[in-house]
Amino acid sequence: MSTTTDFAASAQALAAALYASAVNPADAIRLLSTFAQVVPGDPTSPSAIGVAMAAMQSATGDLFRRAAVVALARASAAYQPTSSDDAAAVRTAVCAILDKEITIAGDQGQDATFNALRSVRAAVSQDLTVRGAGLAAITLVATSQPIPAPVLAQRLYRDPTRADELVSQAAPVHPAFMPVKFKALSS
């Protein structure tokens, strides 16, 4: 690295590479959520060099976390929630990570970063709220005995072709014997 600009570009490239390496947006959210919460350890030396090392480590941690939260926001925009509950859960998780970084930027007096992160948070929140609003909620399905998935799909949705959807949500031992209690889309 010859300049600080190159170093910052490399941090952004690392976050982008993590995002690109994910199989799907849900995987990217999981990977980037972990990366966005990394805080470097404190140097053990109280000397002048140790203090300088601490300042550099802190600044580097800020740089990499912020690159990760930007990539995380992009991943949340690409993510397709399966239900309104799923959209709300992703919104809560991503916004919590953004809130932590917003607080750090605010505590450091970095007003431009603070405002930019707040704008990103508002966009993520609004996007997932709007996309989740049109989706069905999750409900608890309870039957008195195991029922085959196509029969249950017909009862719940009036569409036996949605049996595979129920099987993927309930993970039964066999589709002919659905669990007596599981969560599924309400409509």
Q: pLDDT (tens digit, 9 = 90+) per residue, 131-177? A: 998 888 878 888 888 888 888 888 888 888 888 888 888 788 888 88
Tell me the per-residue pLDDT of 7-57, one tens digit each, with 9 for 90 and over.
889 889 989 998 999 899 999 999 999 988 887 777 677 888 878 888 888
| Cβ count near 39 (within 10 Å) | 12
In sequence order, which residues have a C-beta less than 8 Å from that of residue 40 and are 6 or more positions away? 57, 58, 60, 61
Cα angle, residue 124 at apex, residues 119 and 128 outer, rounded to 5°:
150
Q: Distances from the Cα of 42 to the Cαs of 25, 46, 48, 105, in angstroms?
A: 33, 10, 14, 19
Mean pLDDT (whole number) for 113-127: 96
Q: Distances from the Cα of 158 to the Cαs of 155, 172, 185, in angstroms?
A: 6, 21, 13
Percentage of the chain modeled with pLDDT above 90: 43
